[in-house]
């Protein structure tokens, strides 16, 4: 029943990983069909979003010429928040303000559309508004995909699954089981529009430069998670994400949108977003299981790239760069296999895994392999610590006639009251070990 392949490769999905794969193969002259379920590429995709230049540079070196980039990041703030204050670090340097810039904020719907235009220029065929229902098997080999349209079967030598975090196709095909709620974060986000001048004034930035704020603390209602605020050209992206399992088990039954609304009203955040006009509310899952959660990523006639394979570095909030790199490496594997006249069975695609192992993708994921578990077993990182630190900072800088030495003793006593000394030391060690 094996039909003749109509294409060298089918790529399911037009996000960063799918686009990287389709672009790389099409550039090499392969006949590529890319299938996207949204109205246009990007219409189903959500990210904060920060774009790391490096991964894209390796695919489209001159992307800065015409990619829709919002602002390059010159300042990173990390905030610990308690009920009504924050303590934080701000790292800002003119070094970040010199081209070529390293990080940008982007709006994914616009960026993905642009990336896709490059993919089509490279020669890949893209069809949108088409959902792939399942993979077509010939024995134990994937030979094509079946879409939700009449005469919806289409065949290719290899299918690259870039279908996102829900990984519907691989799951249905039995390549890997459902992602557990403990391995995935649910993030919600709003885009708030405001005049460009307001953003420049509020964040003390220029026309092209921007700020990133990462937040932990009370804002997550005791759940493991973080909040973020990114400056775009004339909008602000503000969001919060926590482990899905924590949402499910939260005794307060706090909904994600309520969590976000509370965060927006935090006295440290509210003035930054005041007057912003909310123009979109989004939600998305982020696979944060890390190294140990990466499934089998290739098999007979198939490969998995991007979020679908769980390629996210949760500690450094990186995902799209891993996605693009996995897409590119999968594509290079296909190109090599095609050149070698291979049969696209698993053995001929294993180069993908070894290329990944040699890349920053697997090296970074390995380095932080234990972080998710450590953080999850120690919720104090997201609950009592930010409170304690904020309290300590306030105590130190409040001028009230108490000498600094006494204050230090107070702070220390407060720390110990909240958590035993051995626990504090242990936490520090665990955290150090987890992200070292």
Partner 1 sequence: MNAITVNVEEKLFQNRYRVDTGRPHIKIKNADVCTNECVVKSCTFVCPASCYKMEGNGTVTLITDGCLECGSCRIICTEHVNVDWEYPRGGHGILFKFG
Partner 2 sequence: MHIVVCIKQVPDSAQIRVHPVTNTIMRQGVPAIVNPYDLFSLEEALRLKDKFGGKVTMLCMGPPQAEEALRKCISFGADDAVLVTDRAFAGADTLATSYALTAGVRQIAKEQAVDIVFTGKQTIDGDTAQVGPGIAKRMGLQLLTYVSRIVEVDEEKRTITVERRAEGGVQVLKTSLPCLITMLENTNEMRFANLPAMIHAAAYPVRKWSKEDAGIEDLNKIGLKGSPTVVSKVFGPTPRSEKVEMLDLETSNLRDVSLNLIQKIFTRHPTLESDLLMKELT
Positions touching partner 1 (CB under 8 A) are 37-39, 42-47, 49, 107-110, 112, 128-131, 133, 147-149, 165-166, 168, 178-181, 184, 186, 188, 190-191, 221, 235, 244-245, 247-249, 252-258, 261-262, 265, 278-285
If one counts every other C-beta atom within 10 angstroms of the C-beta of residue 21, the result is 36
Name every residue whose Cβ is closer than 8 Å to that of residue 72 and which is 6 or more positions away in sequence.
Answer: 96, 97, 101, 102, 103, 104, 208, 209, 210
- Residue 128 Cβ vs partner 2, minimum distance, rounded to whole Å: 8
Could you say whether residue 271 binds partner 2 (CB under 8 A)? no
Name the residue nearer to partner 2 (CB basis): 30 or 392. 30
If one counts every other C-beta atom within 10 angstroms of the C-beta of residue 252, the result is 10
Q: Confirm if 79 and 263 have CB atoms less than 8 A apart.
A: no
Name the residue nearer to partner 2 (CB basis): 203 or 311. 203
- Residue 195 Cβ vs partner 2, minimum distance, rounded to whole Å: 5
CA atoms within 13 A on the CB side of 13: 28
Q: Which two tokens stand for residue 242?
A: 């926590």
- Residue 392 Cβ vs partner 1, minimum distance, rounded to whole Å: 24
- Residue 435 Cβ vs partner 2, minimum distance, rounded to whole Å: 36
E-assigned strands of 28-119? 32-35, 50-52, 71-81, 86-92, 103-105
Residues 287-306 that bind partner 2 (CB under 8 A): none
Q: Which residues pair with 153 in a beta bridge?
A: 146
Partner from partner 2, partner 1, none binding residue 33, C-beta < 5-8 Å depending on class: partner 2
**Strand duo 209-217 + 225-231: pairing:** antiparallel
- Residue 35 Cβ vs partner 1, minimum distance, rounded to whole Å: 9
Partner from partner 2, partner 1, none binding residue 234, C-beta < 5-8 Å depending on class: partner 2
Q: Which stretch binds partner 2 (CB under 8 A): 32-40, 199-207, 312-320, 380-388?
A: 32-40
- Residue 34 Cβ vs partner 2, minimum distance, rounded to whole Å: 9
DSSP letters spanning 241-263: EEEHHHHHH-TT---HHHHHHHH
Partner from partner 2, partner 1, none binding residue 265, C-beta < 5-8 Å depending on class: partner 1
Could you say whether residue 151 binds partner 2 (CB under 8 A)? yes
Q: What is the spatial distance between Cα 385 and Cα 224, in angstroms, rounded to a whole number?
A: 12
Could you say whether residue 4 binds partner 2 (CB under 8 A)? no
Q: Confirm if 221 and 387 have CB atoms less than 8 A apart.
A: no
Partner from partner 1, partner 2, none binding residue 137, C-beta < 5-8 Å depending on class: none
Q: Is 20 helix (H, G, I), strand (E, B) or coil?
A: helix
Name every residue whose Cβ is closer than 8 Å to that of residue 229 and which is 6 or more positions away in sequence.
Answer: 212, 213, 215, 236, 237, 238, 269, 272, 273
Rule CB under 8 A: choose which of 57, 138, 208, 280 binds partner 2: 280
| Residues making contact with partner 2 (CB under 8 A) | 33, 39-40, 43, 107, 109-110, 125-127, 130, 147, 149-154, 193-195, 234, 275, 277, 279-280
């Amino acid at each position: 029943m094996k039909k003749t392949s109509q294409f060298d490769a089918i790529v399911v999905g037009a996000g960063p990983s799918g686009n990287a794969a389709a672009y790389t193969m099409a550039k090499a002259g392969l006949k590529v069909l890319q299938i996207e379920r949204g109205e246009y590429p990007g219409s189903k995709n959500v990210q904060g979003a920060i774009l790391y230049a490096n991964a894209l540079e390796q695919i489209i070196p001159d992307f800065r010429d015409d990619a829709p980039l919002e602002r390059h990041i010159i300042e990173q703030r990390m905030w610990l928040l308690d009920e009504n204050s924050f303590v934080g670090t701000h790292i800002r340097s003119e070094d970040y303000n010199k081209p070529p810039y390293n990080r940008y904020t982007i709006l994914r719907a616009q960026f993905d559309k642009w990336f896709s235009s490059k993919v089509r220029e490279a020669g890949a065929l893209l069809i949108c508004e088409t959902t792939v229902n399942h993979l077509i098997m010939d024995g134990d080999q994937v030979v094509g995909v079946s879409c939700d349209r009449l005469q919806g079967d289409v065949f290719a030598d290899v299918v690259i699954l870039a279908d996102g975090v829900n990984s519907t196709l691989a799951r249905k095909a039995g390549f890997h089981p459902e992602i557990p709620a403990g391995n995935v974060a649910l993030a919600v986000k709003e885009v708030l529009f405001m005049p460009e001048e307001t953003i420049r004034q509020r964040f003390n930035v220029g026309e092209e430069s921007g700020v990133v704020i990462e937040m932990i603390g009370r804002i997550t209602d005791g759940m493991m998670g973080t909040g973020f605020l990114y400056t775009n050209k004339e909008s602000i992206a503000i969001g919060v994400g926590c482990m899905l399992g924590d949402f499910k088990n939260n005794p307060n039954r706090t909904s994600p949108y309520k969590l976000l609304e509370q965060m927006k009203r935090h006295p440290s955040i509210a003035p930054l977003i005041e007057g912003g006009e909310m123009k979109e509310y989004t939600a998305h899952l982020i696979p944060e299981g890390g190294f140990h959660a990466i499934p089998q990523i290739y098999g007979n006639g198939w490969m998995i790239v991007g979020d679908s394979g769980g390629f996210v570095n949760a500690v450094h909030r990186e995902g799209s760069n891993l996605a693009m790199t996995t897409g590119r490496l999968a594509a290079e594997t296909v190109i090599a296999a095609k050149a070698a006249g291979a049969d696209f069975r698993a053995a001929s695609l294993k180069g993908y895994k070894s290329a990944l192992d040699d890349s920053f993708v697997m090296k970074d994921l390995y380095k932080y392999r234990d972080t998710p578990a450590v953080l999850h077993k120690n919720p104090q990182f997201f609950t009592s610590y930010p409170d304690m630190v904020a309290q300590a900072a306030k105590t130190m800088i409040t001028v009230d006639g108490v000498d600094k030495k006494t204050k230090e003793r107070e702070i220390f006593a407060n720390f110990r009251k909240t958590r035993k000394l051995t626990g504090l030391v242990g936490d520090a060690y665990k955290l150090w070990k987890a992200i070292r």
